[in-house]
């Protein structure tokens, strides 16, 4: 385990508050934190926890358990309704992130808080005292490189952020927080977007920071193996309350999961055997560019058959998103052909694809998959306004659509007061369920599911996965795009890891091994890894 480079000293920004820290000392003490949202939802219910210097204290909980709210409060993005926060014994109130930063709290967010168009240096300097007046870029660059070296990070200050991988962006954010003098580092879902290799490197760096006796790092994660591997102590949240606090040493995944969800959790999803049928989708040589006009798909070819699930695995930004869009006609193809049931649909419009029997659940549920200001019925109409069952000579049969919506609500267990409320009132899980229900109700022959279970809690995830398996059992072809290797492994008949716009291999589900796939999506070549 590497130690921080003693030659390089970090910059001290906060004066007396952080002098003479003893390892094991309580540096952050949150007591009775309570936060209520409009509508009466209690996001945080009298939460207490303590963070000690040199320790890694993980916060674990399902989506909606209140983790994000808690961390936002600790970072000054939200104000608690009740409760106190003590930093090294000093009672403090964070009215804005600026207050939190001044007290030595740094945060690295789940969804990168960086400006893609700016350089690494500009991003790190943003808001930093060093950037007052005319920016002294040279001095800042030196200090930042020194800091990075101390903890073993590699960064290129001149690179533009949009060019970096997720792992590299995260490093930038960490360095940014440290450069601002953070002594307590809050990491929000730090490993969710990383390859297994990057995850290991991150965990090593975190160890480094704790060795420095000052960097203290609470985790927030629902990746149970990571929690066990790295943390010293775990606080478990459920429905806004602290349900337990344990030393990680004696815990197992089962115990943690049970406490998170409140009931025993089954980790295996049963997938029945299926005889694959006729090819439904054949793509040859697909090439396309992304929004930055860089080639994102390079000569992709594959076939999917009836009753098969093709799992496209990979870390975000390797072309999966562009693949989904190209298949559905939402992005221009620069080269290649798409054959659907033997028919060349390369030039077909989006509407034609729906009508021919393709279906797509996008990853952007509120921007693309649904219209927030429309009611549930109007949202369901998105896939039916052209359908002659509900469109009679240009007039829409809203009554019939309402009935259809009610059916979908029931079959997909959507929690909502009724079909006439606006869809923005639905929680993430329910929104995804109704989108999925809407698409699957058309009984498409091909379903493209882009990150269908992302951000959903265990219950909703299970439901979504079950529905995809049902579609498969009904002889649909399914393309599942996911960043969750466990999900890919448990659902797919074939696995196609993607890296930098190319499909690295086509591996039968039964033969796939997790670390092999993990290496492929990280760009490690077969020759080296095996």
Partner 1 sequence: MMTLGGYHIKLQRRTNLPGWKAAMISVLAVLFGLALFSLIFLQAGQDPVEIYRQIFKYAFFNSYGLGLTINRFIFLALASFAFIIPMRAGLWNIGMPGQLYLGVLAAFGVAYLFGGKAGNLSAPGVVIIPLMILAAMIAGGLFGAISGFLKGKWNVNEIVVTMMLNFIAFYLVAFMIKDGGPFMNLGGRGESFELPEAARAPMTGDFPITLWFVFILTIVLAVLFARMSLGYQIKAFGKSPMAARYAGVKPFFIAVLVFALGGAIAGLAGYHYFAAVPGVYKIARTYGYFGDLSFYGVICGLISLGNPIATLIIALLFGGLSIGGRYAQGKLHLGFGVDFALMGVLMISLVAFQFFYNYQILITKKEKRLDVAVSD
Partner 2 sequence: MLPFLIRSLEAAMIFTFAGLGELVDQRSGILNVGLEGIMLFGATLGFIVAKTTGNYLLGFLVGIGIGALLGLLHGFFSITLGVDQVVSGMGIWIFGFGMTTYIGSPHTGPLGLDQLPTWFGISPFFFLAVIMVVLVWFVLAKTGFGLKIRSVGERPSVAEVSGISVTRIRYISVIFGGMMAGFAGAVYALYYNPVWNYNFLMGWGFISLALVFFSMWNPYILFGGAVLFGLLWQLALNPQMFFPGLASRYIWRMVPFIMTILVLVLISSKWFRSRWGATKPEALGRPYHKE
Residues that bind partner 1 in the complex, under the rule CB under 8 A: 38, 40, 328, 330, 349-354, 360, 362, 364, 367-374, 378, 381-383, 385-386, 391, 394-396, 398, 421-422, 424-425
* Residue 321, binding choice from partner 1, partner 2, none, Cβ under 5 to 8 Å by partner class: none
The residue within the footprint of partner 2, chosen from 8, 11, 13, 135 (CB under 8 A), is 135
- For 37, other C-beta atoms within 10 Å of its C-beta total 12
Cα separation of the two ends of the chain: 25
Is residue 446 close enough to count as binding partner 2 by CB under 8 A? Answer: no
* Residue 38, binding choice from partner 1, partner 2, none, Cβ under 5 to 8 Å by partner class: partner 1
Q: Which is nearer to partner 2, 79 or 443 (CB)?
A: 79
* Residue 253, binding choice from partner 1, partner 2, none, Cβ under 5 to 8 Å by partner class: none
b/e map of 344-363 (b: 16 or more CB within 10 Å)?
Answer: ebbebeeeebbeebbbbbbb
- Rounded CA separation 118/161 (Å): 6
- Rounded CA separation 473/475 (Å): 5
Q: Which is nearer to partner 2, 42 or 243 (CB)?
A: 42
Is residue 360 close enough to count as binding partner 2 by CB under 8 A? Answer: no
Q: Min. distance of Cβ 506 from partner 2 in angstroms?
A: 33
- Rounded CA separation 273/253 (Å): 28
Q: Min. distance of Cβ 64 from partner 1 in angstroms?
A: 18
Q: Min. distance of Cβ 108 from partner 2 in angstroms?
A: 10
Is residue 115 close enough to count as binding partner 2 by CB under 8 A? Answer: yes
Residue found under tokens 């992304």: 290
The residue within the footprint of partner 2, chosen from 13, 17, 42, 77 (CB under 8 A), is 77
Which residues, numbered 366-425, are part of the site for partner 2 (CB under 8 A)?
none
Which of 107, 88, 46 lies closest to 241 in space, CA to CA? 46
Q: Min. distance of Cβ 290 from partner 1 in angstroms?
A: 16
Which residues, numbered 230-269, are part of the site for partner 2 (CB under 8 A)?
none
Stretch that binds partner 2, among 192-200, 220-228, 289-297, 495-503 (CB under 8 A): 289-297
Q: Are 453 and 482 in contact (CB under 8 A)?
A: yes
* Residue 220, binding choice from partner 1, partner 2, none, Cβ under 5 to 8 Å by partner class: none
Q: Which is nearer to partner 2, 174 or 404 (CB)?
A: 174
Which of 499, 517, 500 lies closest to 509 in space, CA to CA? 517
Which residues, numbered 15-44, are part of the site for partner 2 (CB under 8 A)?
none
Instruction: Give start and end residues of each alpha helix (H) in 262-385.
Output: 320-328, 350-356, 376-380
Is residue 114 close enough to count as binding partner 2 by CB under 8 A? Answer: yes
Is residue 506 close enough to count as binding partner 2 by CB under 8 A? Answer: no
Is residue 184 close enough to count as binding partner 2 by CB under 8 A? Answer: no
Stretch that binds partner 2, among 127-135, 298-306, 335-343, 475-483 (CB under 8 A): 127-135
* Residue 492, binding choice from partner 1, partner 2, none, Cβ under 5 to 8 Å by partner class: none
Q: What one-character-per-residue DSSP string does 431-471 give?
A: HHHHHHHHHHTT--SEEEEESTTTT--HHHHHHHHHHHHHH
- Rounded CA separation 323/340 (Å): 15
Q: Which is nearer to partner 1, 198 or 378 (CB)?
A: 378
**Residues facing 282 on adjacent strands:** 303, 339
- Rounded CA separation 425/415 (Å): 10
- Rounded CA separation 251/227 (Å): 10
CA distances from 399 to 142, 288, 390, 443 (A): 67, 42, 9, 21
Question: What SS3 state is found at 418?
Answer: coil
Q: Min. distance of Cβ 322 from partner 1 in angstroms?
A: 15
Size of residue set near partner 2 by CB under 8 A: 30
- Rounded CA separation 156/172 (Å): 9
- Rounded CA separation 266/459 (Å): 11
Is residue 134 close enough to count as binding partner 2 by CB under 8 A? Answer: yes
Stretch that binds partner 2, among 189-197, 288-296, 388-396, 487-495 (CB under 8 A): 288-296
CA distances from 519 to 74, 194, 326, 415 (A): 36, 12, 26, 39
Stretch that binds partner 2, among 4-12, 48-56, 59-67, 75-83 (CB under 8 A): 75-83
The residue within the footprint of partner 2, chosen from 126, 145, 265, 382 (CB under 8 A), is 126
- Rounded CA separation 405/525 (Å): 48
Q: Which is nearer to partner 2, 96 or 526 (CB)?
A: 96
Backbone torsion region of residue 505, taken as left when φ is above 0, otherwise alpha when ψ lies between -120 and 50, otherwise beta: beta
Is residue 332 close enough to count as binding partner 2 by CB under 8 A? Answer: no
Non-local CB neighbours of 134 within 8 Å, separated by 6+ positions: none
Binding site for partner 2 (CB under 8 A): 75, 77-78, 96-98, 101, 107, 109, 113-118, 122-123, 125-128, 131-135, 176, 291-293
């Amino acid at each position: 385990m590497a130690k921080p480079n003693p030659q390089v000293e970090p910059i001290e920004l906060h004066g007396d508050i952080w002098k003479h820290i003893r390892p094991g000392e309580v540096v952050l003490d949150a007591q009775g934190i309570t936060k209520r949202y409009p509508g009466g939802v209690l996001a945080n219910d009298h939460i207490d926890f303590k963070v000690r210097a040199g320790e890694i204290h993980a916060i674990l909980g399902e989506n909606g358990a209140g983790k994000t709210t808690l961390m936002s409060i600790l970072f000054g993005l939200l104000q608690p309704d009740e409760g106190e926060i003590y930093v090294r014994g000093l009672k403090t109130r964070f009215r804005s992130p600026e207050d939190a930063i001044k007290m030595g709290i740094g945060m690295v967010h789940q969804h990168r808080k960086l400006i893609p168009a700016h350089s690494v240096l500009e991003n790190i300097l943003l808001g930093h005292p060093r950037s007052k007046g005319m920016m002294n870029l040279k001095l800042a660059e030196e200090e930042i490189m020194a800091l990075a070296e101390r903890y073993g990070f590699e960064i290129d200050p001149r690179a533009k952020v949009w060019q970096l991988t997720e792992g590299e962006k995260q490093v930038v954010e960490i360095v940014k927080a440290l450069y601002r003098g953070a002594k307590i580092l809050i990491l929000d879902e730090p490993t969710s977007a990383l390859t297994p290799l990057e995850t290991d490197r991150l965990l090593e760096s975190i160890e480094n920071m704790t060795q420095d006796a000052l960097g203290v790092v609470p985790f927030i994660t629902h990746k149970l193996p990571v929690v066990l591997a790295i943390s010293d102590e775990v606080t478990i949240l459920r429905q806004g309350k602290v349900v337990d606090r344990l030393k990680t040493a004696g815990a197992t995944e089962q115990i943690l999961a049970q406490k998170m969800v409140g009931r025993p959790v089954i980790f295996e999803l049963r997938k029945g055997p299926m005889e694959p049928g006729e090819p439904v989708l054949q793509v040859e040589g697909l090439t396309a560019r992304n929004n930055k006009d860089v080639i994102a798909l390079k000569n992709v070819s594959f076939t999917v058959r009836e009753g098969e699930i093709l799992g496209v695995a990979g870390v975000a930004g390797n072309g999966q998103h562009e693949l989904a869009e190209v298949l559905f006609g939402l992005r221009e193809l620069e080269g290649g052909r798409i054959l659907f049931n033997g028919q060349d649909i390369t030039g077909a419009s989006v509407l034609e694809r729906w009508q021919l029997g393709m279906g797509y659940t996008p990853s952007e549920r509120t921007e693309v998959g649904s219209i927030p200001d429309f009611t549930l019925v109007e949202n369901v109409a998105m896939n039916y306004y052209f359908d002659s069952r509900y469109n009679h000579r240009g007039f829409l049969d809203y009554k019939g659509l309402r009935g259809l919506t009610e059916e979908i609500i029931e079959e997909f267990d959507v929690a909502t007061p009724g079909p006439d409320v606006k869809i923005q009132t639905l929680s993430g899980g329910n929104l995804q369920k109704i989108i999925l229900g809407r698409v699957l109700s058309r009984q498409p022959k091909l379903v493209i599911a882009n990150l269908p279970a992302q951000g959903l809690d265990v219950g909703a995830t299970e439901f979504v996965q079950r529905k995809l398996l049902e579609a498969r059992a009904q002889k649909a072809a399914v393309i599942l795009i996911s960043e969750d290797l466990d999900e890919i492994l448990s659902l797919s008949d074939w696995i196609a890891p993607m890296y930098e716009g190319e499909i690295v291999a086509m591996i039968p589900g039964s033969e796939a091994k997790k670390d092999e796939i993990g290496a492929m999506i990280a760009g490690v070549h077969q020759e080296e890894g095996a």
